[in-house]
Amino acid sequence: EKKTGMIEAWLRKHRYLYDGATRHPFILSIHDGTISIDSFKTWLAQDYLFVRALVPFAASVLIKAWKESDESGDVEVILRGVASLEDEISWFKREANKWGVPLSDVVPQRPNVKYCGFLESLISPEVKYTVAITAFWAIEAVYHESFALCIEEGSKTPPELKETCARWGNEAFHGNYCKSLQKIANRRLQKASDEELKKAEVVLLSVLEHELDFWNMSRGNV
Ligand code: HMH
């Protein structure tokens, strides 16, 4: 079995699930301009809570990189991601204010609770850097690929949602960030034991399933 480009191989193998997560009806409804504003508001409020939970997970990946990585450059890539989350949280507060969504009393819905619980389980020191960085890449890549579709030429994304889509869909920051994470993940997976590879693949599938459930929740189908 060839171990190089493991991420690409897994994406081919799990294409159906990956497309399900990145071409979800929620995203397609933004892309074709038919999204209901209630769905968008639900997503906004729930994703604010998710991003708050993403901070300690991202910080745990940073610690794992510092302890376990064979290349010091990994820390900078992950640090850039951690740092960008502060701006992201401020953005959520501004955006929620704009839409009249009160963030102080948002109750996390079940799929969100489950996804955040999954993130928390990955913080454990027993979860290896290779497995954690694979999860981190997948989490960011699903959002990038999803929202990139909505800013493509010819999309009918409502103008008031363009900024949201560009936040994750843009190539300049988010696209390159995902590429850097993917490169790190591939490099680590190339050197991983079969047992670690199995764990990383399972974690990737879990991320994709949680992302699907998150989109479903945003559309009101819990
Ligand atoms: C549910 N997945 C979810 N929310 C996000 N903000 C990201 C991924 C990427 O940051």
Distance CA 50, CA 53 (A): 5
**Closest approach atom of ligand 1 to CA 210:** 1
Q: Give the angle 28-162-112 at the CA atoms, nearest 5°.
A: 60
Q: Is 177 in the pocket of ligand 1 (CB under 6 A)?
A: no
Q: Rounded distance, CA 162 to CA 143, Å?
A: 14
Residue 4 pLDDT greater than 60, yes or no: no
Atom of ligand 1 nearest to the CA of 142: 8
**What's the gap in Å between 87 CA and the centre of ligand 1?**
14
Q: Is the pLDDT of residue 199 over 80?
A: yes
Q: Is the ipTM of this complex over 0.95?
A: yes
Environment class of 58 (CB within 10 Å of its CB; exposed 0-12, middle 13-18, buried 19+): buried
Task: Report whether residue 139 contacts ligand 1, using a CB cutoff of 6 Å.
Answer: yes
Give the residue with greater pLDDT, 27 vs 173. Answer: 27
CA distance 184 to 80: 14
Task: Report the chain's mean pLDDT, rounded to a whole number.
Answer: 96
**Residue holding tokens 């290896």?**
128
What pLDDT, in 10s, does the model give residues 177-192? 999 999 999 999 999 9
Alpha-carbon gap, residue 203 to 130, rounded angstroms: 11
Q: Give the start-to-end residue ranges of the domains of the chain.
A: 6-26+37-148+167-218
Taking CA atoms only, the protein residue closest to ligand 1 atom 9 is 140
- Mean pLDDT score, 99-110: 95
Q: Is the CB of 137 under 6 A from ligand 1?
A: no
Query: What's the average model confidence in pLDDT over 19-26?
Result: 97
pLDDT of residue 173: 87
What's the rounded Cα separation, in Å, for the pair 115 and 5?
27
Record: fold of 6-26+37-148+167-218:
Heme Oxygenase; Chain A (1.20.910)
Whether the CB of 145 sits within 6 Å of ligand 1? no
Q: Is the pLDDT of residue 176 over 50?
A: yes
Of 123, 125, 122, 136, the closest CA to residue 181 belongs to 136
pLDDT(3) > 80: no
pLDDT cut 70: percent of the chain above it = 98
How remote is the CA of residue 135 from the centroid of ligand 1, in Å?
12
Specify the ligand 1 atom closest to the Cα of 85.
Answer: 10
